[in-house]
Amino acid sequence: MPPVASVGDIVERYGISLPDEVPAFVDGAPRYSDGAHTLTRECPATEEALYALQESAPEVVDEAVRAARLIMDDTPWPRMPHVERKRVLRRIMDVIERHRDELAVLQSLEVGLPLGGVRTMHMARTIENFDFFAEVAGTVGGHAYTQTGTYLTVVTREPAGVVALLSPWNAPLVLTSMKLAASLALGNACVIKASEHSPYSVYRFVEILHEADLPPGLVNLVNGRGPVTGASLVEHQGVDVVGFVGGSKTGAAIMAAAANGVRKVGLELGGKSANMVMASADLEQAIDGSLLAILTGNGQQCLAGSRILVQESIADEFTERFVKRLSQVRVGDPFDAQTEVGAMAFREHFQKVMSYVDTATAEGATLLTGGTAAPGFDRGFFFQPTAVEVGDNRLRVCQEEIFGPFVTIQRVPDADAAIRIANDSAFGLVSYIWSNDLLEVTQMSGAIKAGTVWVNTPLARDLRAPFGGYKQSGVGRDGLESSVELLT
Ligand code: NAD
């Protein structure tokens, strides 16, 4: 097992620098707070301290909201011609491109994701979010009703106002930039609350955005724990819309807080997605896709295909081949190009993922592979990809979001059983079907209660299409029309 690069090695190798303390960013400048509560953030691959995070107290949150409010109430920004606003988004794309490698390295350092995937997939999507919404800026307009003959009714679309954006740690820039790009394209001002587990990559992102000549106060950032800084942001009556990406329990708390003042909310929440492999599937393709569905992002994805339902007649072959491949996955240093799964993002999360091994075996599930910390590491939060076979979808490992490279495999007799079990969940974000039977695919995809159903492909997302969930996976959608509905 090659040694895991230390934080010092990474700083030197990529020529980045890390601060002692991460502050907020308000009104176009860093906002340090004397005597702030601080949280130490450790590198998940080495357990070395990275920096201290200064938690934003309510007065810092208030300053950030006021700065954004000023942009909406006292500057030309909300009425800026769309071609100019489009230019702002294009300048943002250029600065992200210039800092692409630095931002990728910071995310891998903070949350343990393999650098290759962050540099390509995450950074490409971050830039694409601005590219996509730059085009949207010019397409959103109003309309007029003329049919009465005596008067004209003109309908206009106006920016919603100050948008609070709360994001999780699992894909910090992809998820922060999605709603940020949409908010700016549609003429809003923002206050971002980054996850306390990935604050510096988002801080640097906000800082470099200002190289694109943003008006100070247009994009602000506050940092700290959810129930402290996050709650004071959501409760602030200067906020008009709350765009939240995170866990379902937190989403419910956000919805309740936003009800005070009757503010709009968009909630993109958790998942426990069924990945259905049917007898007619191309097995090689289904195995490759199922591995991607559970391992991408170290398995820490809302859309992870974490419940495999495999048709009885192919179950032995699928399980044997899938488990063999899973056991060969290379776990290790996020900065080693050979690594497929890096470190779990932080200590408590690693412990949580590990705890589901005992939960599974206590519930009577059969361990097929993994189930321990990855061998060969004397430090770092490395978890061996794990599969368990289950006979009952009501087990906790089938119902709760584990958020790691941990998959359950259950045999099903036919498509009807697959549909019933897929829908037997509090969540309904996405699902996956592997089948070459068109009738079966049509019936299954129509019956499954999930916002997106992927057929013979994992993780393909078109920004024009709505993305969001049924049930506890969310309220509202991201995507072209849905973003316009939320943010205007
Ligand atoms: P989380 O809910 O713990 O935190 C998300 C954000 O909310 C963080 O910034 C956090 O500080 C803040 N927060 C926490 N409690 C708060 C409170 N009471 N008031 C205000 N803010 C609060 O989620 P997480 O652990 O950071 O992220 C993982 C979750 O995110 C998973 O459930 C995953 O499925 C979900 N997720 C969903 C999507 C999607 O598009 N549907 C995408 C990525 C992640």
Question: What is the per-residue pLDDT across 167-183, written as a single tens digit (0 to 9) for each?
Answer: 999 999 999 999 999 99
- For atom 3 of ligand 1, which residue has the closest CA? 247
Average pLDDT, the chain: 97
State residue 342's pLDDT score. Answer: 98
| Dihedral angle over CA of 239, 243, 247, 249, nearest 10 | 50
Q: What is the DSSP letter of 394?
A: T
Bin 186: left if φ > 0, else alpha if -120 < ψ < 50, else beta.
alpha
- For atom 30 of ligand 1, which residue has the closest CA? 246
Q: What is the DSSP letter of 118?
A: I
Contact between 272 and 407 (Cβ < 8 Å): no
| Ligand 1 atom with minimal separation from the 468 CA | 41
Average pLDDT over residues 462-472: 94
Alpha carbon of 245 to ligand 1 centroid (Å) = 5
| Ligand 1 atom with minimal separation from the 168 CA | 26
- Give 403-432 pLDDT, tens digit per residue: 999 999 999 999 999 999 999 999 999 999
Instruction: Place 150 in a pLDDT band, splitting at 50, 70 and 90.
Output: confident
Name residues contacting ligand 1 (CB within 6 A).
166-170, 175, 193, 195-196, 226-227, 230-231, 234, 245-247, 250, 253-254, 268-271, 302, 401, 403, 429, 474
Q: Is residue 268 among the annotated active site residues?
A: yes
State residue 436's pLDDT score. Answer: 98
C-alpha to C-alpha distance for 311 and 279, rounded to whole angstroms: 6
Q: Which residue has the tokens 């129930």?
A: 227
State residue 1's pLDDT score. Answer: 67
- Rounded alpha-carbon distances, angstroms, from residue 156 to 73, 185, 488: 18, 16, 10
Mutate to test the pocket of ligand 1, among 110, 166, 235, 244 (most ligand atoms within 8 A of CB): 166
- Rounded alpha-carbon distances, angstroms, from residue 247 to 170, 250, 342, 377: 11, 5, 22, 30
Contact between 85 and 185 (Cβ < 8 Å): yes
Contact between 306 and 408 (Cβ < 8 Å): yes
Amino acid type, 439 = L
Average pLDDT over residues 297-312: 98
C-alpha to C-alpha distance for 193 and 186, rounded to whole angstroms: 20
Phi first, then psi: give them for residue 242, nearest 5 degrees: -115, 120
Given the residues 43, 190, 302, 398, the one annotated as active site? 302
Alpha carbon of 445 to ligand 1 centroid (Å) = 28
Alpha carbon of 112 to ligand 1 centroid (Å) = 18
Kindly state the tokens that stand for 193: 């609350």
| Ligand 1 atom with minimal separation from the 253 CA | 18
- Give 8-54 pLDDT, tens digit per residue: 999 999 999 999 999 999 999 999 999 999 999 999 999 999 999 99
Alpha carbon of 346 to ligand 1 centroid (Å) = 14
Contact between 407 and 430 (Cβ < 8 Å): no
Question: Which range has the worst mean pLDDT, 89-93, 220-224, 262-266, 458-462?
Answer: 458-462
Alpha carbon of 99 to ligand 1 centroid (Å) = 26
C-alpha to C-alpha distance for 341 and 238, rounded to whole angstroms: 42
C-alpha to C-alpha distance for 103 and 277, rounded to whole angstroms: 37
Question: Which range has the worst mean pLDDT, 60-74, 146-160, 219-233, 266-280?
Answer: 146-160
Of residues 270 and 480, which shows the higher confidence score?
270
Question: Which range has the worst mean pLDDT, 37-51, 137-151, 310-324, 444-458?
Answer: 137-151
Alpha carbon of 436 to ligand 1 centroid (Å) = 36
Q: Is residue 302 among the annotated active site residues?
A: yes
Given the residues 55, 63, 110, 268, the one annotated as active site? 268
Half-sphere exposure of 248 (CA within 13 A, CB side): 19
The bridge status of strand 24-26 relative to strand 29-31 is antiparallel
Mutate to test the pocket of ligand 1, among 22, 170, 173 (most ligand atoms within 8 A of CB): 170
Q: What is the DSSP string of 203-265?
A: HHHHHHHGGG-PPTTSEEEE-S-IIIIIHHHHH-TT--EEEEES-HHHHHHHHHHHHTTT-EE
Mutate to test the pocket of ligand 1, among 245, 260, 348, 477 (most ligand atoms within 8 A of CB): 245
Determine whether 41 is exposed, middle or buried from the number of CB atoms within 10 Å of its CB (0-12, 13-18, 19+): buried
Alpha carbon of 166 to ligand 1 centroid (Å) = 7
Mutate to test the pocket of ligand 1, among 250, 306, 346, 477 (most ligand atoms within 8 A of CB): 250
- For atom 42 of ligand 1, which residue has the closest CA? 302
Strand, coil or helix: what is 103? Answer: helix
State residue 146's pLDDT score. Answer: 86
- For atom 13 of ligand 1, which residue has the closest CA? 226
Show Cβ contacts of residue 462 under 8 Å, excluding neighbours closer than 6 positions: none
Average pLDDT over residues 395-399: 98
Instruction: Place 3 in a pLDDT band, splitting at 50, 70 and 90.
Output: confident
C-alpha to C-alpha distance for 158 and 65, rounded to whole angstroms: 19
Kindly state the tokens that stand for 367: 């361990």
Per the DSSP assignment, residues forming a β-bridge with 427 are: 471
Contact between 426 and 340 (Cβ < 8 Å): no
Alpha carbon of 441 to ligand 1 centroid (Å) = 32
Strand, coil or helix: what is 69? Answer: helix
CA 317 to chain centre: 33
Contact between 82 and 138 (Cβ < 8 Å): yes
State residue 10's pLDDT score. Answer: 98
pTM of the model: 0.97
Contact between 386 and 402 (Cβ < 8 Å): no
- For atom 16 of ligand 1, which residue has the closest CA? 226
